[in-house]
Amino acid sequence: MNFQSNEQTIHDKVNLARLVRRLEKTIAAEDWDTGNLPPRATWIRTNQTLQKLKYARKLLDNVELHESDQNAFRAYEDLRSNLARLHSVVSQVNDRVKPPSTRPTPILPTLPLPSPSEPPIPSIHVYDRHDVGNTQHDTSHGDSKLATDELLSPSDTLLDSAILLPADPPSSAAPSKAAPAFLQNSSAIQEELSAQLAQMATQLKRNAQHFSESLDKDKALVQETQEKLERNHDVMSKERVRVRDHHSKSWGTTWLVMLSMLVALVGFILTFFVIRLT
């Protein structure tokens, strides 16, 4: 068990003892049968008390899980029985004041039934080439009955052959008409892309020029700063030498003055003693 879990167990023990004492006082002081509060308010309070009892049981389980002292389990059993007794009391009150559960009225029976009407399926009649040929053949046969003596001219033969031709060529002409539109769209898209690429190239060129100008300005600024730093370094070197020389000279002068004062003081003392002795 690490330090954090040990500290958490201690907190759980303290919280468990305080919570059990508070619940005992609350449940003992609460008069559940007076009816001063409406049933719904009493039900809310009993639910809150049940949640607190549930949390107390959770704390008790956690404390028992990390407990190593065998003598403490008897106290935990007493706490568990006390919590069970309190839970029984509050549960009885909760069952008595709990509002009856009412199911809502179903909406499905009130909805109208959908109408079973369906849209009619349009009939599609497919004409076959044989039907067209038979129709033309019947028409030509009726005409031959009306004019049996007349012979078919070459123009009539060509007309019948033209009528009997299938209607496939017009369908093949549709892609040929749509092809120029597709090509026009493709060419328009290509032109637009070309214009965008040219604009991007121009913008990139401008950006490159701007960056080169900025680099030139920064280079000049860096060179100027370097020159200033070099000049400052030279000045500081000269000042350092001058300060060092001045420091040595000042200390030499200071020691000379102090030595002179000491010699004068010794001479004064010797003179005083000589005068006193003689």
Which residues, 6+ apart, have CB-to-CB distance to 30 below 8 Å? 45
Q: Which of 52, 79, 97 is the last residue of a domain?
A: 97
Boundary (domain end) residue, out of 97, 130, 146: 97
Better-predicted residue by pLDDT, 51 or 96: 51
Q: To which H or E segment does residue 168 belong?
A: helix 168-277
Model confidence at 82: pLDDT above 70: yes
Provide, rounded to the nearest whole percent, the portion of the chain with pLDDT above 70. Answer: 71
Q: Strand, coil or helix: what is 147?
A: coil
Cα–Cα distance, 211 to 129 (Å, whole number): 75
pLDDT tens digit sequence for 182-197: 677 788 888 889 999 9
Of the candidates 48, 64, 97, which is a domain's last residue?
Answer: 97
Q: What's the whole-model pTM score?
A: 0.36
Gyration radius (Cα) of the chain, Å: 57
Confidence label for 122 from pLDDT (cuts 50, 70 and 90) = low
The answer to the question of residue 33 being in a domain is yes
Domain that holds residue 67: 6-97
What is residue 32's predicted lDDT score, i.e. its pLDDT?
A: 63
- Name the least confident of 49-63, 68-82, 106-120, 200-214: 106-120
The answer to whether the beta carbons of residues 76 and 60 sit under 8 Å apart is yes
Higher pLDDT, 71 or 198: 198
Cβ 11 vs Cβ 44: under 8 Å? no
Query: Which pLDDT score is estimated for 158?
Result: 43
**Average per-residue pLDDT in the chain?**
75
What is the spatial distance between Cα 85 and Cα 24, in angstroms, rounded to a whole number?
10
Determine how many CB atoms are found less than 10 A away from the CB of residue 32: 17
Count of structural domains within the chain? 2
How many helices, marked H, and strands, marked E, lie in the chain? 6, 0
Q: Is residue 112 part of a domain?
A: no
Looking at the domain assignment, is residue 131 inside a domain? no
Q: Is residue 152 assigned to a domain?
A: no
Segment holding 46, helix H or strand E:
helix 39-65
Residue 107, helix vs strand vs coil: coil
How far is the C-alpha of 57 from the C-alpha of 2, rounded, in Å? 24
Does 199 map to a domain?
yes
Provide, rounded to the nearest whole percent, the portion of the chain with pLDDT above 90. Answer: 17
Would you say residue 35 has pLDDT above 90?
no
Give the pLDDT band (50/70/90) at residue 198.
Answer: very high
The answer to whether 16 and 59 have CB atoms below 8 angstroms apart is yes
Q: What is the pLDDT of residue 270?
A: 92
